[in-house]
Amino acid sequence: MGSAARVLETLVSSGIDRSRIEVLDDRTLLVEVPRNELRNVVATLRRLGARPRTMAACDDRSRDGVYRLLYVYAFDDLGTTTILSVALDPRKPVAPTVIDVDPALDWYELEAWDLMGIEFEGRKLRRLILPEDWPSNLHPLRKDVSIEEMKKLYKPLATWRGLEIGADSVALIPVGPYHPALHEPELFVLYLRGEKVVDIDYLGFMVHRGIEKLAESMTYDKVPFIAERICGICGYAHSVAYCQAVEHALRIEVPDRARYIRTLLLEVERIHSHLLWIGVACHLLGFDTGFMHTWRIREKVMVLAEKLTGSRKMYGINIVGGVRMDIDSDKLSYAEKVIEELRREVPRLISATISVPQVRKRLSGTGILEKSDATRYAVVGPTARGSGVPIDVRKDHPYAAYGELSFRVPTYSEGDNMARTMVRVEELEESFSIVEQTIDALRKVGGWIANEEYEIVPGRLGIGSVEAPRGEDIHVLITDRTTPYRWRVRAPTYQNLPALRAMLRDCDLADAPLTIASIDPCFSCTDRILILDLRTGGVTIRSVRKVVGG
Tens of pLDDT, residues 110-126: 999 999 999 999 999 98
Return the sign of the alpha-carbon dihedral for residues 110, 116, 122, 126. Answer: positive
> So what's the pLDDT on residue 523?
67
Domain-embedded: residue 188: no
The predicted pLDDT at position 534 comes to 37
Percentage, residues of the chain above pLDDT 90:
72
User: Does residue 177 have a cis peptide bond before it, meaning omega lies within 30 degrees of 0?
Assistant: yes
Query: Which amino acid, residue 485?
Result: Y
Residue 266's pLDDT is what? 98
Amino acid at 51: R
Give tens-digit pLDDT for 479-538: 999 999 999 999 999 999 999 999 998 899 889 989 999 998 876 665 543 333 334 433
pLDDT band at 17 (very low <50, low <70, confident <90, very high): very high
Same domain, 124 and 227: no
Residue 97 lies in a domain: yes
Task: Name which of 18-27, 124-133, 459-468 the model is least confident about.
Answer: 124-133
- The pLDDT confidence band at residue 179, using thresholds 50, 70 and 90, is low
Q: Does any domain span residue 184?
A: no
Comparing 78-87, 139-148, 262-271, 348-357, which segment has the lowest mean pLDDT?
139-148
Q: Are residues 298 and 439 in the same domain?
A: yes
How is residue 103 annotated by DSSP?
G
Each residue's pLDDT tens digit, 37-90: 999 999 999 999 999 999 999 999 999 999 999 999 999 999 999 999 999 999
CATH number, domain containing residue 218: 1.10.645.10
Establish if 518 belongs to a structural domain.
yes
Mean predicted confidence (pLDDT) in 264-281: 96
Asked if the model's pLDDT at residue 540 lies above 50, the reply is no
- Is residue 113 located within the same domain as residue 260? no
> What's the mean pLDDT in 174-191?
72
pLDDT for 36 beyond 70: yes
Q: How many domains does the chain have?
A: 2
In a shared domain, residues 320 and 420: yes
Mean pLDDT, residues 295-300 taken together: 96
Q: How far apart are CA 535 and CA 230, in angstroms?
A: 28
Both 318 and 424 in one domain: the answer is: yes
Query: What pLDDT, on a 0 to 100 scale, did the predictor assign at position 253?
Result: 97
Final residue of a domain: which of 128, 149, 171?
A: 128
pLDDT at residue 245 is higher than 60: yes
Cβ atoms of residues 466 and 492 within 8 Å: no
Q: Does 304 lie in the same domain as 423?
A: yes
Domain membership of residue 324 (yes or no) is: yes
Are 381 and 237 in contact by the 8 Å Cβ rule? The answer is: no
In whole angstroms, what is the distance from residue 178 CA to residue 190 CA?
Answer: 15
The pLDDT, as a whole number, for residue 183 is 66
CATH of the domain at 35: 3.30.460.80
What pLDDT is stored for residue 539 in this prediction? 31
Give the mean pLDDT of the chain: 88
- Is residue 426 domain-shared with residue 326, that is, in the same domain? yes
Residue 126 neighbours by CB distance under 10 Å: 11
Residue 79's domain spans which residues? 3-128
* 529 close to 205: Cβ distance less than 8 angstroms: yes
- In this structure, is residue 283 part of a structural domain? yes
Residues 310 and 442 in one domain: yes
- Rounded Cα–Cα distance for residues 50 and 69 (Å): 18
